[in-house]
């Protein structure tokens, strides 16, 4: 039988999805888990840090 219960799963702090920790990235500010899907979309900070961040030059 195959064990699908991976201990590797973590909750992404940007989108809230449960994704593989080994495929994710840490938040550039606090180091919490960000999934690879968010990272591909250009999200490099968790929701809390993004909220904290003031939209600068644009
Ligand atoms: Zn995510
Ligand atoms: Zn963060």
Residues 7, 5, 40: CA angle, nearest 5 degrees: 65
CB atoms within 10 A of CB 35: 24
pLDDT confidence band for 52 (50 / 70 / 90): confident
Across the range 33-53, mean pLDDT stands at 93
Distance CA 53, CA 57 (A): 12
CA of 2 to the centre of ligand 1 (A): 26
> Which stretches does DSSP call E strand in the chain?
9-11, 18-20, 25-26, 33-34
CA of 52 to the centre of ligand 2 (A): 9
Whether the model clears a pTM of 0.85, i.e. scores above it, the answer is no
CA of 2 to the centre of ligand 2 (A): 34
- The bound ligand whose nearest atom lies closest to the alpha carbon of 44 is 2
Q: Which residue do the tokens 């999200």 mark?
A: 43
Domain ranges, ordered by start, for the chain: 9-52
CA of 6 to the centre of ligand 2 (A): 24
* Predicted pLDDT of residue 6: 58
Q: What pLDDT, in 10s, does the model give residues 12-36?
A: 999 999 999 999 999 999 999 999 9
């Amino acid at each position: 039988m195959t064990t699908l219960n991976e201990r590797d799963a973590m909750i992404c702090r940007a989108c809230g999805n449960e994704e593989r920790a080994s495929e994710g990235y840490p938040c550039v500010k606090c180091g919490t888990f960000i999934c690879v899907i968010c990272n591909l979309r250009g999200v490099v900070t968790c929701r809390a840090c993004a909220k904290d961040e003031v939209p600068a030059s644009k």
